Each structure stands twice: as structure tokens, then as C-alpha cells.
A and B are shown apart, each in its own frame.
Chain A
Amino acid sequence: MPLCSAKCGKKAILKRPKTGDAMCKECFFEAFENEVHFTITRAKLFKPNATVAIAASGGKDSTVLAYVMKLLNKKYNYKLKLLLLSIDEGITGYRDDSLDTVKQNRDDYEMPLKVMSYKDLYGWTMDEIVAEIGRKNNCTFCGVFRRQALDRGANLLKVDYLATGHNADDIAETVLMNILRGDLARLNRCTSIITDSGDGIPRVKPLKYAYEKEIVMYAYFRKLVYFSTECVFAPNAYRGHARVLLKDLEKIDPSVIMNIIQSGESIKVNETANMPSLTNCMRCGYVSSQDICKACVLLEGLNKGLPRLGIGKSSKVKRILNENKLKNNSCNINASTCCRTSTGDVEDIEDKKCLCGGSQTIKSLPVDKIMSDKLTI
């Protein structure tokens, strides 16, 4: 084995995936930690004396993030108050196990832990949602709900920042994906290290420049406990094209990942190009590009027994919501859970066949009532 390229005199035991340098364990730790420290100080990520919630799933990224944040906070005296925030989606056989890992982290790193559950926030666990929707589109629910759940949790804990474990590979992949999808708005903002969801709490990505392979290597040599099972509902993975392409590119030249992030940061969108504007959801106040945010639409679908409501196009959703509203206003309420609309069309053919044959008009709970009950924390 060659000597460590940092000239510390020790024998190298690993090859850094990012640079190809041969290194000893200690020098690799130092290089990795220094790069995260550099990322944090260069971007001025945190103000002193702030409270930072670390989104912890128990996976490799968040475990390494929690460990490194604690270490750097002490070493460089950031004066941060760190705590862990976990989301319990209610997936038996996945989240219950990974939450144990998070609890282990809580004890190891001496950080307070707050767990937010989908059941508390939305009234549904993922297991219940999957029973309703089937396994095909469940990730839509989980992803949309998680994003909001993290923000709501952060709000509840009154933290100043929410740190997530997104790594360099994730970001490069997102850049490629947004180019393939032609999504300029997301292409423009996906590389920023701080994203502010409107009035909410800024989300920061301290591991933005850390390679996935190095994170795994760091966790391995530091002997960190993390949970590495895929979600039991994990689908025929989307992002597929971008991910495969990125892995192939990394094999040719690992610096491509950094190059893609650099490209994503330096591109400028033409001023004449149409960009969607962000507003706030009329119901829950969360930022959204539509009048009603995705989570509210999905919830309304679940609560009305039309779970596929939010799966289709947003224009279709808008139409259905409007129709429902009209019906609510004019309906002379018969106690019924029929899904047939007044026009006689069955709304959601694939999921629920109408049982009454259209003899009764639809009765849905007043919209405001449902939402405010289920969404308050």
C-alpha cells in the first residue's frame, strides 16, 4: 500500500472517490470534515446561536450529517443548538426500524429528538394510504407529505434552520433530471445551498459538495450506525435515467459530479422564458404553485374516498375541486357516501365504482372543516 498522499507518514488504506488520492483514515476524516466546514463557512450557512433541526431518517446521509455537524460545532465553535427531527410515515417494517436507528443517534450524539408522524399531521399513516391507493402511486403521497411534515415540524420546534442530508450526487442528478424534463424553474433553484420556502424556515444542505461514496466510506470508517434498507414500498425507481447516466459519468471521471453542480450554479435562465410563480395555498398557507397545494389536494382525495384525485394533471384536479365546491353549495344533503357526481359521471373510475348506480347525489364534508381539523398540529 502506498503512503498517505497528505504526507502524514502513515500508510494509505483508502482511495478517495472524489479525487483518487490514496489516504490514511485520519487524513480522510480531516479532509471530509474540512470540506463540510468550508462549505458551511463559505456560504455563511448558519448564524451563531441559532437552533438547527437536522432532518434525520436514520439513513447514511442524515447520520453522517448529524455526526459531522456535532463534531464541527464543537471543533469550530459555531455556537449552534442542534436537534434531530424525524418523520414517522407509518410504514411497518421500514420506519419503525429506522426510527430505532435515529433514537440510537439521539443517545450517541446527545441531541434532542422530535418525531412527527403522518398520523398526527394528516390523520393517515402510509400503511393506510397504501391500502387505499395501492402500491403504484404511493410515493407521491409520501414525498409530498414528508416535505410539508418537515417544515411543520421545524415550525413547531421554532428552529432557525432545517438541515437536510442531500449530497453532491443527489444535486447533480437533479440538475440532469431537470434538463431532461425541461423544468427551468427547478433547474434554476435546485443547486442553491439555501432554499427558503416562502415565509418558512430556510432549508440548508451542508453536504452539498460531499460525494455519496465518500459519505458511505466516512460512515464505514467512523463505524457510525445507520439504517440501509430501502423503503418497503420503494417503487420502480424513477429518476432512473438521470441516476444511471450520472453513475456512468462518475466512472469515466469522478469530477463530473462537481462539474455538473458548477454548471447548475452558473447557468442563467433567459429573462423572456416563462417561469411559474409561487403563491401560498388557500387552505393551509404552505407555498405552492397552484391555488391549493398538492398535500391538501391529496388529503381531500383520501378523505373523500377518491384517493387518485391528486395523481392526475393539476388542471383536472382544479376542475374536480370546483365541481365539488359547487355541489357542496347547492346540495340538499342526503346521508350518503356516493361517489357519483350530479352530472352522472363517475369521477374516479379506476378506484371506486359507484355502488348506488347514481340514484343519490354526492355528499362531501364541507371543505374547510376537513382541512382545518386534519392539518393543525
Chain B
Amino acid sequence: MCSVSDENFENEADKVMVKSERRVTLSANCNKCRTAKSCVVLRNKDTYCKNCFLAGATHKFKALIGKSRLIRPNDRDILKKVEQEVTSFGFKLYCISFVEYILNPSIIHGIIENNELNISENDKDRLWDILVKKTSKTNKTDVINLFMRQLLVDAAKYLNCKFIFTPEISIDIASHLLTNISLGRGCHVPIDTGFCDERDEDVKILRPLRLFDLKELAFYNKFNNLDPICIRHREVNPYSSVQDLMKKFVKDLQENFPATVTTVMKTGDKLALDKDNTEICKLCKVSIINSMFRF
């Protein structure tokens, strides 16, 4: 049977994604203060001057953290960062070898380093050797992500921190959400892509940049004269794993239908965690949905 219009939408407009209009004009004054000349265009329509943009970005960051009412002054936070420059802000930097951790998760105190990192060239091979050779890239990536999260939590505990800040931005969140759905982890969406991951009782993982898009961050860095190192990523075949495909899909959405990326995130925000189950999965630490009895 023809399945077009099967879903019986009330509005015709509901059926199509909103395509972004490309009309970039910088001639107008800032949308916010209406006095200064604008220099940034966000979402292909709103223009801001430098000051308003920076104020807006800072406010967005503070508002998200403030709204959650999780962090109190003097709490110790850990920032997951890959950038070298992080030391120039006066943060203490710790490094840890992921392979060593996976090989022996209990020796975290022995492998956490202050400044330099012991990595060798064959680390990647050692890592992939641990995983069963025949496993698909999708599953390998999935397992590695689980271990990565556990490593952060363990390291935070060792360093006596209560919070971990991770740098995912909107497209990371949206692609992670769709990946979760596609891997049958639909019930993990609230903790995996929400603002706060509170699986662990002592250490919470927060994602303060989840409402920012790439352009906002790039301009923020530019205006603050920050110059992060750029790593050229190796080109990956988007059809090699579910995670890669979702990254590509969301990237295309961001380019052509930016409003849909926001919609995906908002959908995720309205999903709740099922707390009825007491049994916890040993690997991902989420309560097990017993699908044997669900239909």
C-alpha cells in the first residue's frame, strides 16, 4: 500500500524539513544592540557585532551550567582536552595512555602523567588487537567509547574531581543521539547526549558546549585570539561504520537544514531515563531494559 502520507499529519508544512536560506548580508547593524556594525552571521540569518556575539556566547555557556544547579564554587573539575595550549590558561595538565588503561584498568595511579605522555607508535595496533578481529568497526568504536568514558570517570576519581567537562558541540550530540538510536541504545539517549551524565554516583560528566555550533566556537576563538592546534583528520569512508555515517548525515543536515539538527537535540532532551530497572549493565553502567517482556 502507498505509505506516503500514512502518518496523517495535520499540517502540510510538517512534512518537509526547513531548508536554510542563504542570504548572508553583513551590511546591516548588529541584531542585538542595533548600533555597532555586525561582523558575524549565525544560523544564516542573525548578525551580531563582536561584543554582542561574545556576550551572547558567554551567557549561553553560563546559563546552561547555571540552570543545571549542579556545580558549586570550589568544586574540582576535569577538562577533557586534546589541545596543547590548555596549559597556557593556567590549568594543570594530566595525560594518560588509553591503551595502558584498557590493558589494565586498575593501575590508573601508575599511568597518569603530569606533563608528558608515554605513547609508542604501535599503540593503535595494540588497541585494535585487544578487540576481536572480526568485530565490525561499528562495534569496535562503540566499545572504545564506553572505555573512554570509564577512563575519564576513573581518572576524575583519582584526581578527586566531581565533574568532567567534555567538549561535544551540537553536531556531535545530534550524531551521537542518532547513533544510539541505531544501535538499539535508545534508552541511553538522556544520559549519553543530555547535559549531564549522572551514571556514576560521585563523578558527573557535563557537556557545556552542547548548544554551540562549530561556527560559533571558531569565532569565539578568533575574537579571543585563541589559536588552537588544527589536526588534519584522515578521510574516513562514511559507510564504514554507523558512527561515521551518522556524522556525515548530521554534517549534511547542519549545512542544508540547520534547524533539523536543533530539532533532533530537542527531541533527545524530552526523553527520560527509565529508572524502574535495578539491574545495571556492567559495561555501560546503564540499567538493563528487559526486552524479553516488552512488546
Contact = CB atoms under 8 A, between A and B. Distances in A.
A270 B10 contact: no
B78 interface: no
A235 B269 CA distance: 33
A313 B13 contact: yes
Interface residues of B, number: 50
A102 B6 CA distance: 20
Given A260-B181, A260-B182, A269 B271 contact: yes
Interface in A135-150: 137, 139-140, 142-144, 146-147
A289 interface: yes
Interface core residue of A142, A170, A181, A269 (most chain B CB under 10 Å): A181
Contacts of A263: 180-187
Interface of B: 1-8, 10-17, 136, 138, 177-178, 180-187, 189, 239-242, 245, 249, 260, 263-264, 266-267, 269-274, 289, 291, 294-295
Interface in A256-308: 256, 258-260, 262-271, 273, 289-290, 294
A262 B260 contact: no
Interface residues of A, number: 68
Given A263-B181, A266-B274, A268-B274, 15 more contacts: A59-B1, A143-B8, A178-B267, A231-B4, A239-B4, A251-B239, A253-B242, A259-B183, A265-B186, A266-B187, A269-B271, A269-B272, A270-B272, A312-B13, A314-B10
Contacts of A249: 182, 242, 245
Interface in A115-174: 137, 139-140, 142-144, 146-147, 164-166, 170, 174
Nearest to B189: A267
A234 B241 CA distance: 33
A231 B2 contact: yes
B17 A266 contact: no
Nearest to A59: B1
Interface of A: 42-43, 55, 57, 59, 61-62, 137, 139-140, 142-144, 146-147, 164-166, 170, 174-184, 186-187, 193, 231, 234-235, 237-239, 241, 245, 248-249, 251-253, 256, 258-260, 262-271, 273, 289-290, 294, 311-314
